[in-house]
Structure 1
Amino acid sequence: MTRFLSLLFCLVLAGKTLAQTPDSLRISSPNGLLTWSIRLQDEPQSPQSPVYEITYRNKPLIQPSRLGMSNNGTGLRPLTWDKNLRIVSATKRTQRSNWQPVWGERADIPDHYNELIVTFRNGPGAGGTMQLIARAYDEGVAFRYFFPEDLRVQVLEVDQETTFFNLPPKTKALYTHHAQGRYEERAIENWAKAAQMPLTLRLDNGTWACITQAEQSSYPLVRLKTVGPNQLVSQLYSEITEASPLASSWRVVMAADRPTDLLQNNYLIQSLNPPNEIKDVSWIKPGRVMRDLTLSTTGAKDLVDFAVEQNIDYLHFDAGWYGHEYEIASDATKVSVDPRRNPKGDLDLPEAIRYARSKGKKIILYVNHRALERQLDTLLPLYESWGVSGIKFGFVHTGSHHWTVWLHEAVRKAAKHHLVVDIHDEYSPTGFNRTYPNLLTQEGVRGNEDWPDATHNTILPFTRYINGAADYTFCFNQPRLTNTKGHQLALPVIYFSPLQFLYWYGKPADFPDRQEIEFWKDLPTVWDDTKVLAGTPGQFVSIARRKGTDWYVGTVTNTEARKVDLPLTFLEPGKSYSLELYEDDGSGKVRKQTRNVTSKDRLTANLLPSGGQAVVLKRK
């Protein structure tokens, strides 16, 4: 973090310093549609307070809203950073570049923005220094607080933020209080609990927006609470005490004419994070995962054989392999099966690992936070020596400054031992996977463990998935599912996750009809291109993704039947494709259809209530 903050300070110095005029305190996106501006304004009890606003297509997106922080400096004197400020410089910089992720939803990502750095001093005389760094992209606007290294204020104690988001009247939000919660549309007024970000918004003029955060790897979680009609303010999960230099997480405001464009542009979150720091990434392997429900040697070997047949890449041993996960006595360095999960306790884990590796399959082990916090530095080299390829963190603490720093440091440590990571349960991504791509996925979503309905599933792409991958733990052929088989087949195309956990509550014997699941057999988990074709939160969504020359399309509806007609213009012109289509047959089963198509054809999905359609288009 220190190295990155030093680089950030150098970039701040590299820009062009401007005279302080209204134009010098304003930036626009490269396409000119988004504008971010700042000024000092006298308000009751708050003279010389920083106030910003954002416009989209020359209309208010964020109306004039206060900025700042309050803290108690242990240097010369207590300081506040939301009033009595002076602007001492304004610097602008332009970036036009592209970058290539180790893995992702697309192979090439634009990083085009105009940047403004405004430097403030607090109080009379020299005072302390705070900078606001703002970037305007075509996809959205981002801004953050930055405190350079300062001998006058050596330690910062941030109690709260005064980062407001004053929205136009009649704005509606897709609200949830926590990462694994249900979503509901609400007016922005009188929320009993603060909202989890991403917070997707529908303005009365038809504009869609999303308020979220990026690079929250060394800063407390921020939620948004209402303080008046159409007025939100940032709520820190905990205090932060840190030596300067200190950077807050990025606050991001995305805007688009259609909700589909918010998801299409979600690479912005990763672009706001530092580049990859892992030199050799050859060992980082995305793929499909299935867990062993038996915690037995025989069951594990049966699962390996099923994995070979179905092209599943990883086997996962979940809670219980080293004892009850919540008992302090449970030791994650030893195999001791929880008798409540397997009374026989007949799991020879070294043999299961040997057999899996002999068949070209990799192993992921689950470890609860209780063992992680006590044994992390012992477990990581040990698992590497066992031939384990990944670790799943369970029920980790999230939100506070302390646990945020601890968790991201745990991912860094895992990388040193060639272990990919999946974080469960409330952790939600903010783009750290760009910097440490061994963090393949995380939960932070209300997935199939909670048996959500189809309406919920059509909301998720426009909310939670804006911030990145989610481990939804897909089920198939389970009686508790309220959605059709076609719906379930399509979801892993729609929901991005480099580790796709399939058949979550299933065993190999649960899938006698292999044709019903053959769509998942060769389904990629990372992509070269992504097109969000159509959709509206709570109604339906259709997404196309390309791997090599082949395209995969997933479409799902809510609890209503629906016809969705899609042009195939994303296909390469002049080429013929073999289309394989999987959909509900009306009797609870999946039917398959095949035909040849080109970019001039159309794809029609006749969806049952809570239904879906999964398609692969293979270029000839």
Structure 2
Amino acid sequence: MKNCTGILAALILLLSGTCIGQVKSSYEVTSPDSKTKLFIGLNGQKDLLYRVSFNGEELTAWSKLGLVINTVKIGENTTIVHGWRSAHKESFAWSLGENDHISNNYNQLTLGCSSSALAFHIVVRVFNGSVAFRYELPQQSSLKSARISSEQTEFNMKNPYTIYQYNQESVFTPTPIDSLNSTCDFPATLVSKHHRYVSIGEADNHNYFKSELVKGKLSNSLSMIFHSALNHRDEESITKKSPSVFFSGQFQSPWRTISIAENAIGLHQASELNLKLTAPTSAKWPTGIKPGKLVRSQLNTQSGIDAVNFAASHNFQYVLFDAGWYGAEFRTTSDPEKVIPQLDLQRVIQEGKQKDIGIVLYVNAVGLRMKLDTLLPLYKKWGVSGLKFGFVDGLTQKGISWLDTAIRKVNQYGFVLDIHDNYKPTGLSRRYPFLLTQEGIRGDENSPDAFHNTVLPFTRFLAGPADFTFCYPNSKNNFSKNLKVSKAQQLALSVIYFSPLQSIFWYGTPLDYTNEPEIDFFTRVPTVWNESRYLAGEIGENISVARRQGGNWYIGSAAGLNDWTTTLKLDFLTDKKLYTATVYEDDQLNGIRIRKIRVKKNDIFSIEIKAKCGQAIIISPEKI
């Protein structure tokens, strides 16, 4: 509820200065619990700056804000014309998430500003443990044809930090900020020796360029750059061929976010922030969205039928026909309206309908761009349940804008959607709920190790769901090329990693999986949750997560490159109830040992996990 208060009366005098100029006065925005604060104001040169504090400690020093639009640097030579404050408090249902309800409480400040006669707004929201801000350009004659050549946003950290550098589906490289010599994707996780944990992220990017972080000009500083613009950081060298954002009329940038925690598992509170910052298109929840598990079929009729039968008997919801079902995927002569002769797709779809198993079809970007508008009604007629996009452009403004339109169209047709390759979430599932998951992650296709697996929950998964494409050994193949961790860790990761649509058994055919006692865990594990708790963990070392669906709890624990011994307090169980815990763990003979114990609320559960191994647990209430 925005209540215009005119020019804000209270200006806070600040005595501290930085090398970018002493700030004369600022506005303060405080979180509902009063622990997180963002200050925004002008220095003597009229540069628009902000800083953030947490629990009374300065997290960032004064840092620049601004964009370069048509050679005008908004944020420099700035006048603050007026401001509005508002408080927001809501809880919305989210049946496709880690928790079935999300609290969205924040305090907001909107400043109306001008730079060189160009009007703009800076919108600030402060949550418990997080801040977010974005730039808004109202309609004005000077923006009939506009180009953003760079974003001036800085993150000047008060203390030295190590950043977990990565790009798209790469490995993670912990690097001191002052030694950073490449770009880093959002969300970026920073850790200080003072045990302060920070995630810098991006929300609601549907019409912008992919932005990345680079080393800033100051010590312990990060600045922003458009993807592939590293060789054009000198402003004088930026030309029309350089990465730019083009728009006409009014415009909103994505949100820039900073989340702070006192320990690694505390970062998880930021995992729903992107959803909070993205507005839904409708207050009415669409019908027919079905989360679940997916198994991939080989590209022939009998394999499709076998996959449907396997899915039905193992509590899976979908069968995927991946690249090749309509021919070589990168050729323009391959037609996603026509099925290869080896596959009777209609027969498989009908078999699936009889067993309540949906069919998901992969379509490469070549086919999508040529025929999306004809494919959607055709696939609806065929009885297809979902789509998987491949090799889309999630890097440029053109690609991201096209994706936003494509996701909207898929959503309108009621197909569940999985977007693969470089695309990462920014909260658009709130706007388009049929978008269940996306890749943008180094999953089992790329042979991640235990260090990587225990970094992901504190980095990439803070942005939203990820399709990890789980690989699991069977009687015919141990997939040693892909798997660098134990079987039990693979089971545990299906709980630790969140995705409403999980791709399980990525390699191997369903008929090869005769190790039923082991894979029974995948049969039982859900993909969406009523409640989730991060219990213990440290970035790159270990992780333990508990999640509840209905009356059952599931716990996944994984060790990195070293052995891990700890205890978990089962204080999340219901009082005065007895439970049976079914424990799946490595037997150190490349197999799974399954044991059962009785537990109750507040019991102390000991875990001892060898390096690269894991443990998965299902805790069910005993029937009276």
Q: Which residue of 2 aligns with 1:81?
A: 74
Alpha-carbon RMSD: 1.5
Where do 5+ consecutive residues of structure 2 fail to align? 14-25, 228-242
Q: Distance in 2 between matches of 1:525 and 1:14?
A: 43
Equivalences for residues 165-314 of structure 1 within 5 A: 165-176=155-166, 178-228=167-217, 229-237=219-227, 238-277=243-282, 279=284, 281-292=286-297, 294-314=298-318
2:247 alignment partner AA: E
Q: Distance in 2 between matches of 1:204 and 1:333?
A: 56
Q: Counterpart in 2 of 1:60?
A: 58
- Cα distance in 2 between the residues matched to 1:603 and 1:15: 54
Superposition deviation, residue 151 in structure 1: 3.3
Distance in 1, matches of 2:536 and 2:518, equals 26
Amino acid at match of 1:154: K
Give CA-to-partner distance per residue, 1:470-520, whole Å, 9 cap, x none: 000001113321211100011110000000100000212322220011011
Shift, 1:283, TM fit: 1.1
Q: 1:15-164 counterparts in 2 under 5 A?
A: 17-19=7-9, 21-22=11-12, 25-42=27-44, 47-72=45-70, 79-123=72-116, 127-164=117-154
Aligned counterparts of 1:105 and 1:358: Cα–Cα separation in 2: 30
8 A contact 2:294–2:503 mirrored in 1: yes
Against the structure 1 CA distance between its residues 389 and 252, is the aligned structure 2 distance closer, same or farther, given a 3 Å change threshold? same
Would you say the 8 A contact 2:75–2:115 is kept in 1? no
Looking at structure 1, the residues matched to 548 and 359 of structure 2 have their Cα atoms a distance apart, in angstroms, of 27
Report the 3-state secondary structure (helix = DSSP H, G, I; strand = E; otherwise coil) of the residue aligned with 1:520: helix
The CA deviation at 1:12 is 5.7
CA offsets, 1:568-601, max 9 Å, x none? 0011111111211100111111011112211121
Could you tell me which runs of 5 or more consecutive residues in structure 1 were left unpaired when the two chains were aligned.
1-10, 73-77, 337-344
Quick one: distance in 2 between partners of 1:201 and 1:191?
12
Q: Distance in 1 between matches of 2:172 and 2:283?
A: 36
Shift of 1:299: 1.0
- CA separation in 1, counterparts of 2:280 and 2:536? 31
Q: CA deviation at 1:100?
A: 1.3
Among all aligned residue pairs of Structure 1 and Structure 2, give the percentage whose two residues are the same amino acid.
35
Equivalent pair of 2:583/2:595 in contact (CA under 8 Å): yes
Q: TM-score scaled by structure 2?
A: 0.92
> Which 10-residue stretch deviates more, 14-23 or 283-292?
14-23
Note if contact 2:292-2:501 (Cα within 8 Å) is conserved in structure 1. yes
TM-fit CA distance, 1:16: 6.4
Q: Would the aligned equivalents of 2:97 and 2:500 in 1 still touch at CA under 8 Å? A: yes
Matching residue's letter, 2:329: E
Cα separation, 1, equivalents of 2:344 and 2:50: 61
Inter-CA distance 363–278: structure 2 relative to 1 (3 Å threshold)? farther
Output one character per residue of 1:371-398: Cα deviation in whole Å (capped at 9) or x when no partner.
1011111111111110001000001011
Select the residue among 319, 333, 338 that pairs with 1:315: 319
Task: Sort the Cα spacing of 1:410 and 1:187 in 2 relative to 1 into closer, same or farther, 3 A.
Answer: same
CA distance in 1, matches of 2:273, 2:498: 16
Runs of 4+ residues deviating >3 angstroms = 11-17, 151-155, 276-280
Match of 2:448 in 1: 452
The answer to which of 346-355 and 596-605 deviates more is 596-605
- Amino acid corresponding to residue 321 of structure 1 in structure 2: W
Distance (whole Å) between structure 2 residues aligned to residue 169 and residue 113 of structure 1: 27
Per-residue deviation, 1:280:
5.3
Query: Which residue of 2 is the match for residue 339 of structure 1?
Result: none
Does structure 2 retain, via aligned residues, the 8 Å contact 1:117–1:133?
yes
Question: Cα distance, 1:538 vs. partner?
Answer: 0.7
SS in 2 for 1:436: coil
Decide whether aligned partners of structure 1 residues 276 and 528 sit closer, same or farther in structure 2, where only a CA change above 3 A counts. Answer: farther
Pairing of 1:532-547 with structure 2 (within 5 A): 532-547=534-549
Distance in 2 between the 1:610 and 1:190 partners? 29
Change (3 A) 1:15 1:108: farther
* Amino acid paired to 2:607: A
Partner Cα separation in structure 2 for residue 197 and residue 83 of structure 1: 26
Counterpart contact for 1:168–1:203, Cα < 8 Å: no
- Count of paired positions: 588
Q: Kindly indicate whether the alpha-carbon contact (under 8 Å) linking 1:264 and 1:531 is maintained by their aligned counterparts in 2.
A: no
* Kept after mapping to 2: 8 A contact 1:20/1:89: no
Q: Secondary structure at the match of 1:603?
A: strand
Other-structure match for 1:575: 577
Give the whole-Å Cα distance in 1 for the aligned partners of 2:198 and 2:102: 21
> Which stretch has the larger CA shift, 157-166 or 17-26?
17-26
1:609 deviates by 1.8
Deviation at 1:152, TM superposition (A): 4.4
* Cα separation, 1, equivalents of 2:435 and 2:441: 16
2:436 to 416, 429, 440: 440
Query: Could you say which residue in structure 2 is the equivalent of 1:601?
Result: 603
Q: Which residues in structure 2 correspond to 1:305-454 (within 5 Å)?
A: 305-336=309-340, 345-454=341-450
Quote the offset at 1:276 in angstroms: 4.9
- By how many angstroms is 1:156 displaced? 2.6
Q: What is the CA deviation profile of residues 273-312 of structure 1, one whole-angstrom value per residue up to 9, with x for unaligned ones?
A: 00253845221100000000x2111111111111121111
What is the alpha-carbon distance in structure 1 between the residues aligned to residue 34 and residue 79 of structure 2? 29
> Any conservation in 2 of the 1:51–1:66 contact (CA below 8 Å)?
yes
